Every structure is written in C-alpha cells, then in structure tokens.
Structure 1
Amino acid sequence: MSVKQAPAYQQGAPERPPNEDSDVEEEALANEYKEQVGFDDGEDYDLNRAASLGGGPQDLQAQLQAAATPLEYQATIETKIQSYDSYCNLFHFILNSEGPVDIDVPSNFWAWDVIDEFIYQFNSFCSYRQRIAYQQSHTQVNEDEVTILRENPNTWGCYSVLNVLYSLIQRSQISEQLAARKRGEDPTMYAGDYGSRSLYQMLGYFSVIGLLRVHCLLGDFSLALKTLDDIELNKKAMFARVMAANFTTYYYVGFSYMMMHRYADALRAFNHILIYVSRTKNFQKGAQYDSITKKNDQMYALVAICVAFYPTRLDDTIHTALREKYGEQLTRMQRGGPEALPIFEELFRAACPKFISPTPPDFDQPHQNIDPVEHQLSIFMEEVKTNMWSPTVRSYLKLYTTMDLTKLAGFLEVDADTLKSWLLVNKQRSRQVRHSEGGLLEGDVVNSSDLDYAMQGDMIQVSEAKVGRKLVDWYLRNLARTY
C-alpha cells in the first residue's frame, strides 16, 4: 500500500456494552501510572512539545526514535519540510516493504509518541502557514518563507496525513482485532502477518486515536467520534495506560460532544479524566506537570461552558476546582444575557483545539482566507446567542405553574412573538441525545431539564420534568464511571 494513495477502509463496529468499571480499577490504573513515572524518571513527556529534535541516523531504529522526538519550537521552515519528508519516507518503508518490518517496539509510550508528534507537527505547520498568509495582507513578512510555502503546497497536507493514519489502521487490521475482542473472540485470528507484529499493532491502535484528533481539528466532530467505534472507553483500554494518550482521547471526545450540543456526555468525558488527573497529580513532575496543569485549566474551562448550558451536580473534587478557577465566569454565564457573551468567547478561545483548514491558504488573495479558529468560534457563539435568554426565562417559569405569555413578555421587556421563539428554542435545546451503549454517536433522546412547559394559546403551563429528574439521578449514579 502506497502512502501516496488513499486506502480503502471501512467504518462501523458492533455495539459496546455498558461499562462497569469501579473506583478500585481506577485506583489501580493510577498506581500503575505512578510506577511508570518512577521507572521512567529521566524523561518528561511535554504535551506542548518544546524539546529539540536531533538528526536521525539511517537505521530504522534510530529513525523511529527520531520520529518520536519533538521538533524544536523555533525550527526553520526548511527543517519543518525536512521533518515531513522524513515521516513520509519512514511510513512509506513501514507500509510498503515486502512483508512486515521485523523490529521490536520499545514500549507503548514510544508508539504513542510517534503518532502524537506526527500530528502535532502537522497541526503546527498548518497553523504557521495560515498565520503567514494572514500576516501577508497586514504586515511585512519574510518573502522567502512565502515563496517556499507557495512552492510546497502539499507539504503537511491534510490528505497525506489522513492517508498515513488510515493506512496504518488498515495494514495492522487493528479495527478487526478490536471488534473481535469485543465479541469475545481471539483477535489474533484477524491480525494477519502485519497485525501480529507489535510495531504495526501499536502504530495502528494509536492511529485510531490520532484520527479522532485530526477530524476534530478539521471540525468534523461526528466523524471524530465515529472513529472510536472499535475502541471501548474504559480504564482497561490500551490508551489509558499512556497518560498523554488518555488525556488526549477524553479531551477530544468531550470537546466533540460539546460542539454537538451533547453536554451531559461531554461532562462525563471531562469528569472522568479530570478525576484521574487529580489522583495522579502528585506523580507528575517537571515539564510534564506544567503541561498537564495548562491542559487541566483548559478542560475546566470547557466544563464551565457545559455546566452553563446544562446545569448539573458535579463530583465534589471537580466542583471545588471549578469554583476556584472559573467561579465568577461560571456565575455570569449561568445568569445569561448579553453580558455573558464575552465570557463564553474568552473561555472557548482559551480551551478549544488549534483548528486547521483542510486546504492550504491562498497567498495570492490572503483576504479571502478564513481563520479556522474564528470560524469554529462563530459557530459556537451562534449557539450561545440562541440560548442567551434561556436562564432568565427559566428563572421566571420556576415561579409559576400557569402564566400568561404577554405577562411574561412584559417582565422580560420583549414582544410576545420574540418570547415565543425563545420558549420554543429553549424547549428544543432541552432535548439531548445521551449515550448509554453502542457507538459514541448513538444514544437516547432525553429531556435534560428539570423544568417542562407547554403552550396553549397565550397560556404557558409549567411542570416538573420527570424525565429530566430521572436524567439527573442517572447522572449522579454514573458520575464515578466511564463509558
């Protein structure tokens, strides 16, 4: 299979049974992480990638080690292009050799680091290229850099990166192996010559997590979740054994759910990983501690956004930390109204991924380039504006069982038609898809609010939503669990 050709791949997997993990297993996982940190005391895993990359020798072992090594933050454009060519040559050799490459994988950490660094450099280069194109229409830029970017439009292209990830997944037969394991069958029966080798198996497995990340960066949140159909999100999963992979997986799963307005599922993902990090924070050290602390703050910002849309009870540890970090902002967001808009925008900018465009920017007409982050922000803010008055409307409705529409409109100082549209939007938004079993995109439509109402003519009938109460009870029972 050539890296330069798109592979054929299939999606879909059998349903996932409900997870029944316990706190005992999570504690064991935390202890295992402690042992890993103690064993690997000489190396820090920086989620922000600030270390330097040395030149890679010709032998495959050294090339694999170089592929897992972070690129220097201030690397020149020539170095970035050279790094891309090195990755292409490496993956081409692994995928297209006559028969599987026979080499031992040092550890799961190594396999994750290769895929993680590959996607990180892709993300960084796309952001850098977009920034250069934007600056071209505003300030003086290095024309040599612009010329190089013009002459290399396919360098770190979206197509080639996705092709590598899908090729590794297909070559390793990892999807078939994972599906077989979930059915209780022997996965080695589906591995083939390549999938039975640790090199292909681990690269293929973490390529699935990489696809989740890339599709989310491209703004395709439903496809991002679809890629995990064959992976069970629980404490026994392979990615859970690698701290950075564990954190990355739940961050992008939670963010994808949030952008799809599935706030209960997003909070479950965020709560799980934040509780896990809180149990292992004493084991983190150096650059790793700084990176995880920064990512933690971003995760809590996303939790604040979700809670503002979907008020619910949180784990005491999460609730306390949330109030310490974003207590004032959360209060203002929950209050609603125009004054809450800047808070939503500020937290989204601080916590969202560095979105990228699937195509290179237009250097000839830079004013036509769309900033991917601004694009996703505008989509998110439309949702915020749609729900801007929901807290205020809810606060009034909680005081009455029956209320005249015109009277309520007078309290809110709006006309009756505007209020009616707010009520319809609020009622529609209160119905969410909640995951229970099967793929991450599957779920049941439930009422996520403890307040329900109906309109008949100019009268509003208000009642407690029994379905919403059941949802809250269900959420509290499952708070300490994962999927």
Structure 2
Amino acid sequence: MAMDGSWRRGGTPQMTFTDADIDAAEEMATSGSYSEVPDIVGQFLKYMHQTFLDRNIVELHNLYEQVFQRFTDRYYRLMSWPSPEHVAEYVENDAVFLLLYNELYYRHLFSKMIPSLAQRVDSWQNYCNLFEGFLQHGMIDHDLPPSWLWDMIDEFIYQFESWCQYRAKLKSKTPEEIQYLRENDQIWNVQTVLSLLTCLVHKSNIISWLLRGEPSGSNDPDSANFDISTLPVYRYIGYFSIIGLLRVNTLLGDYRLALMVLQPLDFDVSTALFTHVTACHVSIYYYMGFCYIMLRRYEDAVRVFSSTVIHIGRIKHNHTRSYQYEQINKRNDQMMALLALCLAMQPQQVDESTMSLMRDRSGERLSRLRQGELQAFEDLFNYACPKFISPAPPDYDAAEDTNMEAPRLQTKLYMQVVRSQLLLPEVRSYLKLYTTIEIGKLGALMDVDSSTFRSHLHALKHRSWTLSGSFAVPPLDGVFSTSSDVGFYIERDVVHISDTKQSSRYGEYFIENIKKLDDLHSQLKRKMTIENSKGNPKGGRRTTRVS
C-alpha cells in the first residue's frame, strides 16, 4: 500500500506502508501502549531534520503541511507524538530542531488532549527558548516555511489565552496547584508575552522594511551593514508578530492600541505579506474588523468583513484538505455574524454577492436583528467575538471561577451601545416618509413626547458622523463623514428632510439575475431532455428545442 505521506529525495525510492504496518500502528495508537518511535516515524523525522539542515523550503513546507498531518491522522489521533527525549537520537540531538519539534509536539497535545499544569509550563519554557533563539541570531543559518512561522505565533497566543482561562478556573484546582500558580506568576505573564512579540518585531527590522519598501542593508550576515530583514525567516516572524500584537491587544480589550500596531502595514493584497498564508489573511481582517466594531466605526468594519468573506468564498475550495480548513470556515461564519450586527446597527449598501450570502446563511438572524431583539444581538456577539481574557491573576484566596468576567464585561459594554442605538433605525425609517414634518407629530408616531424624540434625532445625527477610512490609509486614519442615508436639520420645531434617494447599483443587480436565469435555463434543458427520452423510448429524434 502506498504511503499517504510519501516523499521523494533525489534518487531515493518512494516510501511505502504495508497493511501490517498500518494495522499494528493503529492498534498501538488506540491502546496507547508504546512510547518508542515506530521505524517509519523515525525515518520521517530523520528526513525532516535533513531537509531543515539543507534549507529545502519547498520540501519542508510539504513535510510540515501534508506529511506531518497525515502521520498525525494515521498514528496519533488518540495520543501525543513521541516525547522529545525519544526523538533526540533521530535528529542527532540538534538543539534548534528539537525546539521546533517541541513546538509541534505541544501544539498537537493542546489540540487533541487536555494538557496538565506541568505540560503548560513546559510549553511556555519551550516558547521562551525558541524565541530567545531567534533573538540571539540562532536562526540566521536556517529557514522555515511561512505557514509554520505563522502557526508558531498563532499557537503561542492561543496557549497564552488558554492559560489565562485555565488559571481563572479555581474550583477544580487542588491546593497544591493553586499554591504553584500563586508562586509562579511569571509563567505566561502578559507583560512577557507582549515583550517577546515586540522584541521579535524589533529584532526582525520589519518596520523599517515595511516603511522603506525594501531592505536598508546587505543580505550578507558578515557584512557591516547587514539587514536581518533580508532573511525570509526573520522577515516573516517579525511580520506575524505584529499581527500577534493585534490579537493580544484585542483579547485584552485595548482596541485602539490593537489597530495602532498595524500602522506600518501595507494592505495592498498584491504585495502584502499576510496574503502568503491564508489563515493569517483571515485572522488579521477578523481582529481588525472587530476592533472597528468596538470603536463604533461600522462602515470600516463592513468594508473589512465583506471583502474577506468574498475572498474566502473564492479560495475556500483550495483548502478543503488543509489542516486550516475548519479554522477558516469558523472565522468565515463569525465574520458573517459580525457583518450582520454591523448592518443592523448602521444600515448601508454592500455589494449584492455579499448580501446574497448573508440572506442564504443568516436570513433568520438578520430578521431578528431588524426587529430589535436584544437577545439576538447578544447571542450573535457572544458567538462571533474573540475569547477575551483578563491579564491579571485571580484572587487565589476566593477560590472562585472568574474566567467569564472579561467576556461578560465586553458583552455588557457592547449591549450598552446597542440599547442606545436600538431606536435609531426606526427613527430613520419614519424620516424617509416625509420632506418636512413637526417633531411632535413624529414623536406621536413612536408614542414619545417631543423632547424625547428631539433627543433621538440628536442621537441619530451624532451616530451618523463617524471616522471612516480605506485600505489605502493606516487603520486608525480616516476622515469624518456621514454614513446615514437620511439628511435632515431642525428649524424651530420642524424637521426638514433632504432627498434620500440613492443611486442604484444596476450592474450588480443584472449580473445576479443573469446568473439566476442561466440556472433556470439549464434546469429547463435537463427537464426537456428527460421528458424526450421518456416519450421516445426507441431513440428517435424529436424537434423540441429550448432556445
């Protein structure tokens, strides 16, 4: 039987699995009865190590994304990969490669099992050693695929997030575990996490590279003006660390700072580095769009989410076999939910293809939001928001679970904004019916007095003026403009409404309906073909034709 995760190297023949090897391996994996490394896994690790030393990035990318995943599915679905101590002999005790293997080892362990306190601590120490290697020029003579470097940063932040949740759940902890947490607050410390990511950004010199658009020095490590950003491994790790800072600051609820770290980035999709890894592309726009929502910049959030949803729709079929497929799908669903929230809070025009996707997947949710159901807003927000964390350790003497305090706080802040704007869509809809009308009459339509309705009008005017930007300017920049489709002013007690007619997007309308007509035409042709075959069993030709 051919090996699913096969590889070729020079003239080496293709490796194969026998049925007996697979059955024996699966039986051992199911029972969890072995701790040694199977021969075929040992050969794979030897070859992966040699590929790493040879700096064969194309082959290493294949081994990392395809072969490693297939070995995991075949051998290690129910147990961890071999411990680093058992692997060391296969990779010639290479300290650098063992740090990278440990990163894979703990990542798999976190994804398939519930890690113990000791394993969480060991993983933290491995990340510290790994990043320290980058900071001490330990990777100058090596290279890694961009997807591995992105997953490294992404997993580092995920485990930090997991630690904060784990640390806050005190009811299930033993006294010994609580005492250990109390005495070792430097483990997965938020300041250290931010410091490591920031140091990687500075070490990589990526900011200078982004601002200049080119390296500022030589690519020769022995040169006096050596620019480390000329090395892809440092350029990517620094770039992905910037996006990591975006994510950490979002989890902490500092949305302005989260967008501020993105100021040097170029969002031109033809040149931007984040487009080199699809999961990174989706992640940066997810957190960026969410920050816009919490800063009440709904127009920018809609711009970010709609472009990303369309992009995912175009490329999703290319990742059906990728280990990132489920994550990309989940992020897509979350962005669709956030997009629905934005359009409910601030109605605006989006392209027809995006609205078609939303009607197909979130039609019921959109209806509930438009009816002003507070519970619908809260449910969608809780589903689509990041898993917020508290950077401070809990009160260990209280022995209570506090892991939900940060999410509840952010949900409370969002729902306060929703309640303050819940009536504005209704006010907007009434204004569209008139050109001039007294405030008292409009208030009567909503069963409120004149002074209350006047305050609603002031709120609508205030909320409709927001800062909005584009992908051509830094995320925090933009110009103040009105996003409302209703223009009005108040003169004494009379509201004067300007023309609210909007230009229709005929092109998108006709393209969408042409597609529907083509589908109907194809269905009709198939139906006529079937009817002809039933009505003329001898195979004679009929003259019926669909034009």
Distance verdict in 2 for CA 1:112–1:54, change over 3 Å: farther
Pairwise CA distance, 1:323: 1.3
Distance verdict in 2 for CA 1:273–1:55, change over 3 Å: farther
1:115 is matched with which residue?
153
TM-score (norm 1): 0.80
Matched, 1:350 2:390: no
> 213-222 or 50-59, which moves further after superposition?
50-59
Pairwise CA distance, 1:377: 0.7
In 2, Cα distance between the equivalents of 1:91 and 1:397?
A: 58
In 1, Cα distance between the equivalents of 2:427 and 2:62?
A: 50
Distance verdict in 2 for CA 1:366–1:452, change over 3 Å: farther
Pairwise CA distance, 1:259: 1.1
Work out whether residues 178 and 187 of structure 1, in 8 Å CA contact, stay in contact via their aligned partners in 2: no
1:26 is matched with which residue?
none
In 2, Cα distance between the equivalents of 1:204 and 1:324?
A: 39
The one-letter amino acid paired with 1:438 is: V
2:141 is matched with which residue?
103
* RMSD (Å) for aligned C-alpha atoms: 2.8
2:474 is matched with which residue?
439
In 2, Cα distance between the equivalents of 1:212 and 1:170?
A: 15
Aligned pairs for 1:253-402 (under 5 A) are: 253-286=288-321, 287-336=323-372, 340-365=373-398, 371-402=405-436
| Identity within the alignment, % | 36
Secondary structure in 2 matching 1:153: coil
Work out whether residues 251 and 389 of structure 2, in 8 Å CA contact, stay in contact via their aligned partners in 1: yes
Distance verdict in 2 for CA 1:441–1:400, change over 3 Å: same
Distance verdict in 2 for CA 1:255–1:90, change over 3 Å: same
Deviations 1:386-432 (A, max 9, x none): 10101111111111111111222221112222222211111111111
2:121 is matched with which residue?
81
Work out whether residues 450 and 465 of structure 1, in 8 Å CA contact, stay in contact via their aligned partners in 2: yes
Distance verdict in 2 for CA 1:100–1:83, change over 3 Å: closer
In 1, Cα distance between the equivalents of 2:479 and 2:288?
A: 18
In 1, Cα distance between the equivalents of 2:287 and 2:233?
A: 25
Secondary structure in 1 matching 2:490: strand
Deviations 1:305-324 (A, max 9, x none): 01112222333332222112
Work out whether residues 465 and 482 of structure 2, in 8 Å CA contact, stay in contact via their aligned partners in 1: yes
In 2, Cα distance between the equivalents of 1:126 and 1:188?
A: 41
> 54-63 or 168-177, which moves further after superposition?
54-63
Aligned pairs for 1:10-21 (under 5 A) are: none
1:229 is matched with which residue?
263
In 2, Cα distance between the equivalents of 1:375 and 1:464?
A: 41
Work out whether residues 404 and 458 of structure 1, in 8 Å CA contact, stay in contact via their aligned partners in 2: yes
Matched, 1:415 2:445: no
Q: Which has the bigger relative contact order, CA under 8 A and spacing at least 6?
A: 1
The one-letter amino acid paired with 1:91 is: F
In 2, Cα distance between the equivalents of 1:335 and 1:172?
A: 50
> 116-125 or 343-352, which moves further after superposition?
116-125
The one-letter amino acid paired with 1:165 is: L
> 439-448 or 415-424, which moves further after superposition?
415-424
* 5+ long unaligned stretches in structure 1: 1-35, 477-483
Work out whether residues 453 and 461 of structure 1, in 8 Å CA contact, stay in contact via their aligned partners in 2: yes
* 5+ long unaligned stretches in structure 2: 1-60, 73-77, 220-224, 509-547
Matched, 1:214 2:248: yes
Matched, 1:90 2:90: no
Work out whether residues 146 and 233 of structure 2, in 8 Å CA contact, stay in contact via their aligned partners in 1: no
